[in-house]
Amino acid sequence: MKAFPHRHLLGIEPLEASDIQTILDTADGLKEVLDRPIKKVPALRGKTVVNLFYEASTRTRSSFEIAQKVLSADSLSIATATSSVTKGETLLDTAKNLEAMNPDMIVIRHQASGAPHFLARHCRSAIVNAGDGAHEHPTQALLDALTLRQKKGRLKGLRVAIVGDLLHSRVARSNLWLLAKMGAQVVLCAPPTLVPAGIEALAPVTYSIDEAVEGADAIMMLRIQLERMGGGFFPSLREYHKRFGLTLERVRRAKKDVVILHPGPMNRGVEIASEVADGPDSEILDQVTNGVAVRMAVLYLLLGGGRE
């Protein structure tokens, strides 16, 4: 395996297609460890990872923690609810202090776009972006890509519809970069109030989900982040479902073997109908398993597990 040429994983944007390929290949290779009766390899024994979460997240944090345990790394998780952040310390001071405890990696989720890049400029530890504001969520895009590639055998040339709240979604942004780099063809779909300005420069945008999913190889549904929806971006959840929800009827417009993805947690009956979420085309739970595999790959590549 060739060495990975990056010290950090800050986003998909700075990666080459070959880097993405390396991560996905490594994830494919490591995934079988998760099926063993003894799910543990000593690859990262004695390495320390700090998971620094400024936003609550069961699934991303759990996925990273499990990846760390499977690879035998030591990990320390800090959630802001119980941290000195409440004592008014700056992000940089918190990071510098953590770093002074000599961790090999800091995995950070932060509400501000660019927070991981800021740490990468000022810290010696490897930095992994676990979601920064509305900017990027690279491991999510990587696990989506891994799932797609496993089902379709390739990413190049696939027609992928990304549907939902494009405005607040770091998942959409990372997936857009990744799919473009890997040669897939993306169509975006959202209500006009949830389309960020200028995004049509990156991929075509439609306000019709029927149009977006027409002939699609894959449909990536985005979560309606109810907790950020104070602003009246659409009239009601029922209305949203009617206009933009993924129903069985709409799935039928896509290719026959369409792959349906959702980053979770799902709002059933809002952005996705339960029949679709639990249906035969849904790979939503495979995404979760692949999430652990992709995070194992990122840990392994950045912490030099391959060099020993």
- Of the two residues 80 and 185, which places its CB atom closer to its own copies in the complex? 80
b/e map 54-70, b = 16+ CB within 10 Å: beebeebbebbbbbbeb
230 is a site residue for its own copies (CB under 8 A): no
- Of the two residues 177 and 234, which places its CB atom closer to its own copies in the complex? 234
Q: SS3 for 184?
A: coil
* Count, residues near its own copies per rule CB under 8 A: 60
- In the complex, least distance from residue 103 CB atom to its own copies, rounded to whole angstroms: 8
69 is a site residue for its own copies (CB under 8 A): yes
Angle, in degrees to the nearest 10, between helices 138-152 and 284-302: 120
Position among 13, 19, 214, 286 found at the interface with its own copies (CB under 8 A): 286
CB-CB contact of 148 with 173 (8 Å): no
Which residues in 4-43 contact its own copies (CB under 8 A)?
A: 34-40
- Of the two residues 17 and 92, which places its CB atom closer to its own copies in the complex? 92
> Where do runs of H (alpha helix) occur along 169-283?
170-181, 209-213, 237-244, 248-251, 274-277
- Of the two residues 60 and 186, which places its CB atom closer to its own copies in the complex? 60
- Of the two residues 13 and 99, which places its CB atom closer to its own copies in the complex? 99
Angle, in degrees to the nearest 10, between helices 284-302 and 58-70: 50
- In the complex, least distance from residue 287 CB atom to its own copies, rounded to whole angstroms: 8
65 is a site residue for its own copies (CB under 8 A): yes
192 is a site residue for its own copies (CB under 8 A): no
User: Measured in Å, how far apart are the chain's first and last C-alpha atoms?
Assistant: 12
Position among 1, 3, 56, 112 found at the interface with its own copies (CB under 8 A): 56
CB-CB contact of 51 with 65 (8 Å): yes
Binding mask 257-276 for its own copies (x = CB under 8 A): -------xxxxx--------
- In the complex, least distance from residue 209 CB atom to its own copies, rounded to whole angstroms: 22
Residues constituting the chain: 308
292 is a site residue for its own copies (CB under 8 A): yes
Using the rule CB under 8 A, give the single segment among 3-11, 76-84, 142-150, 153-161 that binds its own copies: 76-84
- Of the two residues 85 and 199, which places its CB atom closer to its own copies in the complex? 85
- Residues 119-127: contacts with CB under 8 Å, at least 24 apart: 119/91, 119/92, 119/95, 120/7, 120/8, 120/10, 122/92, 122/95, 122/96, 123/95, 123/96, 123/99, 124/99, 125/50, 125/98, 125/99, 126/7, 126/8, 126/302, 126/303, 127/8, 127/9, 127/10
Q: How far apart are CA 240 and CA 271, in angstroms?
A: 7
154 is a site residue for its own copies (CB under 8 A): no
Which residues in 88-107 contact its own copies (CB under 8 A)?
A: 88-90, 93-94, 96-103
| List of residues contacting its own copies (CB under 8 A) | 34-40, 45-48, 50, 56-59, 62-63, 65-66, 69-70, 74, 76, 78-79, 81-90, 93-94, 96-103, 226-227, 264-268, 285-289, 291-292
